[in-house]
Amino acid sequence: MLKHIEKLTPAEEALLSAAETLLEATPQRRRAAETLRERGLPSRKVEAWHYTDLRTRLKEFAGLADTADDGQAWIEADRGLVEAARLPVINGRLRASLADDMPQGVTLKSFEGEGGFADAADAVAMLNTLIGRGGVDMGVAAGARVEKPVELLHGTISAGASAIRHKVAMGEGASATIVERHESADGLAVQSNAVVDLEIADDARLLWVIVQTEGDAATHLAQLNVNLGARAKLTVLVLNAGGALVRREINVDVTGEDADLQIRGVNLIGGETHLDVTTVLLHDVPGSVSTELFRNVATAHGAGIFQGQIRVAQIAQKTDARMACNTLLLSDEAEFSAKPELEIFADDVQCAHGATVADIEDDHLFYLMARGIPQKQARAMLVQAFVEEAFEEVEDEALRDALNARIENWLDRHG
Amino acid sequence: MIEIRNLHVRIADEGIEIIKGLNLSVADGEVAAIMGPNGSGKSTLSYALAGRDGYEVTDGEVLFNGVNLLELEPDERAAAGLFLAFQYPVEIPGVATMNFLKAAMNAQRKARGEKEYSTPDFIRTVREAAGHLGISMDMLKRPLNAGFSGGEKKRAEILQMALLEPKLCIMDETDSGLDIDALKVVADGVNAMRGPNRSFVVITHYQRLLEYIVPDTVHVLYKGRIIQSGDKDLALHLEKHGYADIIGQAA
């Protein structure tokens, strides 16, 4: 018997009241409200949230963000990551009228409603279902080779909470690059929530790029749910370089044989940031490959978490799954926790994981200094080199440079 | 050029004194060879001069063109004109060699109050110096020393030396791990840099390198002190008779 909570927190009360008074009571939303009322937000007693006690950390609910401003000025001022067809989302509302023309092969519909959630531990999706109001339903036609990146640009331009959910479907044999960006200004009390449900059909190739540079007062809860088809290739690049409280979940269900999943991430954690990256990879069929590599830098009072779960089903023979998480701690108060979890039910598989935490190497530092490079600059070069290795396989030079420029910018401000 | 007086160096971690009252003077334009058996303190001397952490100078002084070298940080020593060619250059994945070269050259120029290189000037300078050493521009696009062969690493050290134009080059067993062709390339690089205003301290275990880089003076280092000095014939004597009789004489 599941234990019900005895008393709601002020944040939980406010969430429920906002959902009930402001939003239509759809069946999904009713279920989310019921679940929240009975179980509350997950505390550290819930295993998946052990390192991020959301119940304690989400002290208040900021109320729904104002959506009167369509954000046109903000969108025009945005400098972009790379040349892309932008699809703006401002304060949680899709602004299709301000979108660029989509490349050929990409179709957009607006998606109304809520996407649902698994259970109380699936809190990101539960909150999204509770206060979210749809998003975009994007399709990439079978066989389409879309060269120009499409960017889902999420800007939160005023304080308050917002949630959006997108559905993206890659047709058979299609290829594309899609950027998912989240931005807000420092000092703004933002609570942003974004869920993407991604279906990748057989033989498709997708590069999915997540860039999160929320402000230093932002709570950002995000989830990417993927279904990966046969012989399909998905590369996910993640750059987390902002936010006060961040939970980024990546859930991939490898359901097609010989699929290839590559995840490369950089987590830059400074100030008072608490940043949690949780990935769950399910290998359900034989012959698929997955590689996850995260490079993290924690400084000041930053706290980082990586939870990496890989489950290999009994029939998923010849799976090759590898995971690595390397962290540089640049201050005595910074911390990082890595929790690999491998559950392997097949007997003919290759699975490996490794986690390291260190400072930069003295002999590297000495070498650079012996060539005349001052210590501060030498350290910065080595830190940058360490994190940028995560993106060294990115073939698109403009994209790699843009990601590295954001890393450099963060290190300049926090180094 | 450099005046080392009664130098004592201790490896801080182990608390063991390795250099025990070393005296050495190298004149402008001089090539001084330091030879010695394993464990005599050759690498400790080069690290102490370059300012590596953990190599603690407990006594003595080092004057580098009149400046107290021991008070300077490693980068300040480099900017003052000291260059250490490493015995084992470290591989630094993620730092592109060209970026590293540019950072080093410009940092030194900046420290000396000189104008920094523009990108075209920098590339032209590197291309020319690399050509002399048979180093391809492709190699320089790779991360610093990463995946370089032993010979490539040593050539990359000589390239850095040529680009940074130091006043004093300390070469720590530059011949180790080199085949004869690579050794010649390295020696040619060094010889091309010899001049009245540049000095070399060539640290080596074997006489072989000194056939190609002919020294003005040769010093035998043993148990942290110079126990004998002479000209290039001393190296030939050591090659023929080993260190035993000189060590015997000193004892």
Mean pLDDT of chain B: 92
Q: What is the C-alpha to C-alpha distance for residues B140 and B189, in angstroms, rounded to an integer?
A: 18
Query: Cβ B89–A374 below 8 Å, yes or no?
Result: no
**pLDDT tens sequence across A307-357:** 999 999 999 999 999 999 999 999 999 999 999 999 999 999 999 999 999
Chain A residues close to B93, C-beta within 8 Å = 385, 389
Element (H, E) at A292: strand A289-298
- Is it the case that residue A1 has pLDDT exceeding 60? no
Q: Is residue A124 a contact partner of residue A222, using CB atoms and an 8 Å limit?
A: yes
Candidates A389, A374, A332, A381; CA nearest to A360 is A381
Q: To the nearest 10°, the Cα dihedral for B79, B84, B85, B90?
A: -90
Answer whether residue A219 is part of any domain.
yes
User: Which residues, numbered 321 to 380 in chain A, qualify as contacts with chain B under a Cβ-Cβ cut-off of 8 Å?
Assistant: 361-364, 366-375, 377-378
Q: Is residue A210 a contact partner of residue A198, using CB atoms and an 8 Å limit?
A: no
Chain A residues close to B105, C-beta within 8 Å = 372
**pLDDT confidence bin for B178, thresholds 50/70/90:** confident
Q: Which residue has the tokens 């000194």?
A: B210
Which stretches of chain B are DSSP H helices? 42-50, 74-80, 97-111, 119-132, 137-141, 150-164, 180-193, 208-212, 232-241, 244-250
Please tell me the total number of residues recorded for chain B in this structure: 251
Candidates A139, A130, A138, A53; CA nearest to A92 is A130
Contacts of B143 (CB under 8 A, 6+ apart): A385, B91, B92, B93, B94, B95, B96, B97
Q: Which of A373, A376, A384, A403 to mutate to test the interface with B (most CBs of B within 10 A)?
A: A373
Beta bridge partners of A276: A247, A305
- Is it the case that residue B110 has pLDDT exceeding 80? yes
Question: Residue A301 has what pLDDT?
Answer: 97
Q: Which residue has the tokens 């860039």?
A: A211
Q: What is the C-alpha to C-alpha distance for residues A276 and A281, in angstroms, rounded to an integer?
A: 16
**pLDDT confidence bin for B239, thresholds 50/70/90:** confident
Answer whether residue A23 is part of any domain.
no
Alpha carbon of B244: minimum distance to chain A alpha carbons (Å) = 34
Answer whether residue A346 is part of any domain.
yes
Chain B residues close to A370, C-beta within 8 Å = 50-52, 74-75, 77-78, 84, 86
Q: What is the mean pLDDT of residues A64-85?
A: 92
Answer whether residue A149 is part of any domain.
yes
Alpha carbon of B48: minimum distance to chain A alpha carbons (Å) = 12
- Is it the case that residue A158 has pLDDT exceeding 70? yes
Chain A residues close to B86, C-beta within 8 Å = 367, 370
**pLDDT confidence bin for A2, thresholds 50/70/90:** low
Dihedral sign from CA coordinates of A23, A29, A31, A37: negative
**pLDDT tens sequence across B111-164:** 989 999 999 999 999 999 999 888 998 889 899 999 888 888 989 999 999 999
**pLDDT tens sequence across B32-74:** 999 988 889 999 999 999 999 999 999 999 999 999 999 999 9
Q: Which residue has the tokens 């999420």?
A: A154
Which pair of tokens denotes residue B92?
Answer: 């630094």
Q: Which of B46, B69, B75, B108 to mutate to test the interface with A (most CBs of A within 10 A)?
A: B75
Count up the domains in chain B and report the number.
Answer: 1
Out of B84, B92, B143, closest to residue A370 by CB: B84
A53 part of contact set with chain B, CB < 8 Å:
no
Q: What is the C-alpha to C-alpha distance for residues A382 and A377, in angstroms, rounded to an integer?
A: 9
Chain A residues close to B158, C-beta within 8 Å = none
User: Which residues of B have a CB under 8 Å from any CB of A?
Assistant: 50-54, 73-75, 77-79, 84, 86, 89-90, 92-95, 99-100, 103-105, 107-108, 111, 143, 160, 164
- Mark A268-289 as b/e (b = at least 16 C-beta within 10 Å): bbbeebbbbbbbbbbbbbbbbb
Q: Is residue B143 a contact partner of residue B100, using CB atoms and an 8 Å limit?
A: no
Pick the residue from chain A with its C-alpha nearest to B48: A370
Instruction: Tell me how crowded residue B209 is: count the other CB atoms within 10 A of its CB.
Output: 25
Answer whether residue A21 is part of any domain.
no
- Which residues constitute the domain of residue A355? 69-360
Candidates B237, B220, B216; CA nearest to B229 is B220
Q: What is the mean pLDDT of residues A209-235?
A: 98
Pick the residue from chain A with its C-alpha nearest to B164: A371
Question: Residue A67 has what pLDDT?
Answer: 83
Q: What is the mean pLDDT of residues A48-58?
A: 97
- Is it the case that residue A3 has pLDDT exceeding 80? no
First-residue to last-residue Cα distance in chain A:
49
Complex ipTM more than 0.90, yes or no: yes
Count up the domains in chain A and report the number.
Answer: 1
Question: Residue B132 has what pLDDT?
Answer: 87
Q: What is the mean pLDDT of residues B230-244?
A: 87
Answer whether residue A131 is part of any domain.
yes
Answer whether residue A355 is part of any domain.
yes
Q: What is the mean pLDDT of residues A215-222?
A: 97
Alpha carbon of B175: minimum distance to chain A alpha carbons (Å) = 19
Which pair of tokens denotes residue A297?
Answer: 């830098």
Pick the residue from chain B with its C-alpha nearest to A366: B52
- Is it the case that residue A406 has pLDDT exceeding 80? yes
Write the CA distances from B159 to A44, A274, A367, B153, B186, integer angstroms: 56, 45, 15, 10, 9
Pick the residue from chain B with its C-alpha nearest to A381: B95
The number of C-beta contacts closer than 8 angstroms across A and B is 80
Q: What is the C-alpha to C-alpha distance for residues A200 and A172, in angstroms, rounded to an integer?
A: 8
Q: What is the C-alpha to C-alpha distance for residues A295 and A391, in angstroms, rounded to an integer?
A: 10
Q: What is the C-alpha to C-alpha distance for residues A322 and B173, in angstroms, rounded to an integer?
A: 40
- Which residues constitute the domain of residue B226? 2-250
Write the CA distances from A269 to A20, A184, A191, A236, A328, integer angstroms: 36, 16, 18, 20, 10
Question: Residue B251 has what pLDDT?
Answer: 64
| C-alpha B96 chain-centroid distance | 23
Query: Cβ B74–A385 below 8 Å, yes or no?
Result: no
The amino acid occupying position B117 is Y
- Is it the case that residue A52 has pLDDT exceeding 70? yes
- Is it the case that residue A278 has pLDDT exceeding 80? yes
Question: Residue B29 has what pLDDT?
Answer: 95
Candidates A224, A215, A302, A228; CA nearest to A265 is A224
Q: What is the C-alpha to C-alpha distance for residues A379 and A373, in angstroms, rounded to an integer?
A: 9
Question: Residue B13 has what pLDDT?
Answer: 86
